[in-house]
Amino acid sequence: MPADPLEIRGLTVAYGEVTALAEVDLNVAPGEVLALLGPSGSGKSTLLHTVAGFHPPRAGEVWLNGRCVSCATSSVPPERRELAMVFQNYALWPHLTALDTVSYPARRRGEKRAHARAQAQRILERLNIGHLAERHPAELSGGEQQRVGLARALAREASLYLFDEPTAHLDTHVRGVFLEELVTRQRDTGAAAVYAAHDAEESLGLADRVALLAAGRVIQVGTPQQVYDEPVSQLAAQLTGPSSVLTTTDGGELLVRPEWARLGGDRSARIGDVFFRGPHSDYLLDTTQGRVLLREPGPPRQRRGDEVTWSLRHSWPLRVRPGSGSDAEQRCRTGVKVPVVDDPHVPHGVGT
C-alpha cells in the first residue's frame, strides 16, 4: 500500500509564548481532499506553513509520502518537499502574459510548448479569462490577476496541494467556478489536498473529510455529513453551519439544524423574526425550549409576532456540557461569545 501523502503526528507549533497548534494528529490518504475548517486564528495557516516547511515545529513530526520531513533530528527545506502551496494572494511575474504564466508549470515539467499553451488556455477559459490570455499583469484588474494566479495553481502537478483560503478574495461566481475546476482536476490527477477555509459551506461541499480546528486543536475529524449531522459539541456545530440548541425538560441539550425543523405541527411558538434569503427564508422562533432557527423554501409565509405551530424532523443530542470538554472547547467558550442561536445575519460558517 502506498504511504499517505501527508501524516502529521503530535504536531505542536509556537510563536514565542503563543501556542498556535497543540498536539495535532492528522493524515491525508492518496487522492483525498481534507478541509481544515476553523475560525480566524485557529491555526489553519500555521498548519499549512509547517507542512510546507516554513515553520519548525516545537514538537511532533510531519511525514510526506512516507518520508519524515520535520523530525526531531532533521528538517527538509521547503523547496525539496515536492508539494504545491496556493496562497490567498498571488504574485504574478510582470513580464509574462497570462497564457505564459499559466503555461509555465507544464513547461517546467518538460511538456511541449503547444501542449502546455493549449492546456493553459483551457484553464483560463474555465475561469472566464480566456480572452485576457495575451495581457500582462499591469493590463489586468486585481480580480483578473487573482484568477490568473489561481489558473497557474491549477496548472501545477504535485502529489499534495496545500490551499490557504484561496477563494478569500474572489466573488461568488468565480469562487464556484474555481471550486468546480479544483474538484475536477483533483479527480483527474488523483492528487491529495489540504484545503483551509473558514467557510463551512465551501468546506463541506468539496472535502472528502473535514478536520475542525479550534484554538490550535483538532476537535473533530469526519466526513462532511458526520461533522454536520453529528457534531461532538456546540462549538463543532457552530463551525459547520447555523444551528440552535433546545433545552429538554430533563435538562439535556438538543442540537437543531435549521432544515431539521418545519413550520406546522404539534409544537407552538411565536415568530421572533423572519429573514428572506432568496431561495429560502429563515424564521427565528421563540419556543418554551429556547430560540430555534428554522429554514423553509420560498419567500416568508409568516410575519414577526405571528403565533405558529412547528415540528422537529430530527435533532442531535449534544454530549459536551458547559464546564466540561477539551482545553480548546474551554478556551473558545471563555474567549468567544457562544449564542444559543447563531447570528442569522451569518448564514453559514463562523465568520472571521
Residues binding ligand ADP (CB under 6 A): 15, 18, 20, 38, 40-46
Q: Distances from the Cα of 97 to the Cαs of 120, 132, 148, 149, 282, in angstroms?
A: 11, 9, 10, 12, 46
- Find the shortest distance in angstroms from Cβ 104 to ligand ADP: 28
With beta carbons less than 8 A apart as the criterion, state whether 12 and 22 touch. yes
Coil/strand/helix, residue 188: helix
- Find the shortest distance in angstroms from Cβ 28 to ligand ADP: 18
Q: Given the complex with ligand ADP, which of 30 and 41 has the nearer CB atom?
A: 41
Q: Given the complex with ligand ADP, which of 15 and 93 has the nearer CB atom?
A: 15
- Find the shortest distance in angstroms from Cβ 40 to ligand ADP: 4
Beta strands in the chain (DSSP E): 6-15, 18-28, 33-37, 59-64, 67-70, 84-86, 160-164, 192-197, 209-214, 217-222, 244-247, 253-256, 261-276, 280-287, 290-297, 307-312, 316-317
- Find the shortest distance in angstroms from Cβ 329 to ligand ADP: 16
d(CA 278, CA 294) in angstroms, rounded, equals 15
Q: Given the complex with ligand ADP, which of 174 and 239 has the nearer CB atom?
A: 239
Q: Given the complex with ligand ADP, which of 127 and 196 has the nearer CB atom?
A: 196
- Find the shortest distance in angstroms from Cβ 229 to ligand ADP: 24
| DSSP 8-state secondary structure symbol assigned to residue 269 | E
- Find the shortest distance in angstroms from Cβ 264 to ligand ADP: 41
Q: Given the complex with ligand ADP, which of 322 and 335 has the nearer CB atom?
A: 335
Give the position of cell 464546564: 323
Q: Given the complex with ligand ADP, which of 36 and 124 has the nearer CB atom?
A: 36
What secondary structure does DSSP assign to 210-232, as a single string? EEEEETTEEEEEE-HHHHHHS-S
- Find the shortest distance in angstroms from Cβ 151 to ligand ADP: 24
Q: Given the complex with ligand ADP, which of 36 and 150 has the nearer CB atom?
A: 36
Q: Between β-strands 18-28 and 33-37, what pairing exists: parallel, antiparallel or unpaired?
A: unpaired
* 78 burial via Cβ count (<10 Å: 0-12, 13-18, 19+): middle
